[in-house]
């Protein structure tokens, strides 16, 4: 059995990896767009995990907190009540491995755009993320830089020393702890 490493340090088997597809599109020298298509069964599984995680925070009349059936919660608050948590679970599983597989050096948080979400539907979303830019160095060997020399006279040095002494003495006068 072949397995991949995922963002949380767990492993994803080949079967789980086949339940999603990822495409990478280079937008500019420092921006990449990742498109994800997650199988509907995988998203439904994440919805079940989201229900278990969130149900303790939802109060339904006639049920103890955390003991209301999933369908009852969905009927009362709508199916979308679990979307955020389910998406977070899926995102954590697919984003890290996609970055690793494509050897991207990400420098910022991704900007996520969800195209399709829902029970029985494939989860489709895109992430635009900034990466380290492609840099090609020009010819820099042999470039000469003119060094400028500044001459400082003894009078200028003495004037600067006197100015610093004046600043110190005025600070001492205003500080009562130094009297």
Q: Which of 45-49, 111-115, 132-136 has the lowest mean pLDDT?
A: 132-136
- Main-chain dihedrals φ then ψ at residue 14, nearest 5 degrees: -60, -40
Query: What is the distance between the alpha carbons of residues 99 and 138, in angstroms, rounded to a whole number?
Result: 29
pLDDT digits (tens, 9 = 90+) for 88-129: 999 988 898 889 888 989 998 999 999 999 888 899 999 999
The CA radius of gyration of the chain, in Å to the nearest whole number, is: 30
Is the pLDDT at 16 greater than 70? The verdict is no
CB of 10 within 8 A of CB of 47? no
- pTM of the prediction? 0.64
Strand ordering across the sheet containing 31-38: 20-28, 31-38, 123-130, 111-116
């Amino acid at each position: 059995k072949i397995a991949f490493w995922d963002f949380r340090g767990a492993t994803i088997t080949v079967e789980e990896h086949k339940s999603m597809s990822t495409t990478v599109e280079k937008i500019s020298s420092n921006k990449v767009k990742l498109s994800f298509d997650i199988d509907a069964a995988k998203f439904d599984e994440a919805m079940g995990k989201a229900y278990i995680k969130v149900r303790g925070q939802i109060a339904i009349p006639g049920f103890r907190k955390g003991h209301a059936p999933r369908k009852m919660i969905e009927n009362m608050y709508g199916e979308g009540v679990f979307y955020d948590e389910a998406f977070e679970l899926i995102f954590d599983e697919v984003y890290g491995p996609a970055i690793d597989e494509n050897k991207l050096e990400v420098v910022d948080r991704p900007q996520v755009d969800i195209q399709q979400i829902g029970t029985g539907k494939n989860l489709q979303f895109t992430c635009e993320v900034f990466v380290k830019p492609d840099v090609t160095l020009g010819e820099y060997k042999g470039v000469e830089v003119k060094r400028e020399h500044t001459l400082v006279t003894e009078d200028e040095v003495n004037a600067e020393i006197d100015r610093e002494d004046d600043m110190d003495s005025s600070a001492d006068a205003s500080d009562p702890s130094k009297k």
